Amino acid sequence: MPAIGHWQRWRLLLDIWIAARFLPFRIRGKSFSEILRLAENGNQGDVPHLPVPDIARFVRKAVRNPILMRDRRCLRAGLVGYEYLRRAGYRPQLHFAVDEVSIGSPRISAHCWVSIDGEEVINNRMDGQVTIYVHPSQTGATEGQ
């Protein structure tokens, strides 16, 4: 793997930050399937193939202190993280779960995280959550970290 320059890392961090800031506007009014299609944005290999922990760190930096989607930070991190990991050549999976106790209540508690090869890399699965859907990567060739 060729080394990438310092400016390329900054460029990727900026791209991820911009994607995180515009995500609320990109998903507003969209159905679940349309939102998942947006997560498939870009082509595999069009961002530098950095190690997974580096990309995850960039995503965490980009989603902290949100103005919009404060109560859906895991969704923002999950969608942006999934997109950029896939574009970097990995095969992430995007997981969605709900809290069993909240089912039937006026406000359902849900959670989202990203894994690669069964290892949680962005957000972590929460206890008491029941997985309702796992979105596999449509592209990507590199497995693992």
Greatest mean pLDDT range, 6-10, 67-71, 140-144: 6-10
User: How confident is the model over 82-137, as pLDDT tens digits?
Assistant: 999 999 999 999 999 998 877 777 877 888 999 999 999 998 888 888 889 999 98
Q: What integer pLDDT is reported at residue 119 of this predicted model?
A: 94
Q: What integer pLDDT is reported at residue 141 of this predicted model?
A: 45
Kindly indicate the confidence band of residue 140, based on its pLDDT and cuts at 50, 70 and 90.
very low
3-state secondary structure the chain: CCCCCHHHHHHHHHHHHHHHHHHHHHHCCCCHHHHHHHHCCCCCCCCCCCCHHHHHHHHHHHHCCCCCCHHHHHHHHHHHHHHHHHHCCECCEEEEEEEHHHCCCCCCCEEEEEEECCEEEECCCCCCEEEEEEEECCCCCECCC
pLDDT at 69 over 60: no
* Mean pLDDT, residues 38-51 taken together: 84
pLDDT at 57 over 60: yes
Q: What integer pLDDT is reported at residue 3 of this predicted model?
A: 59
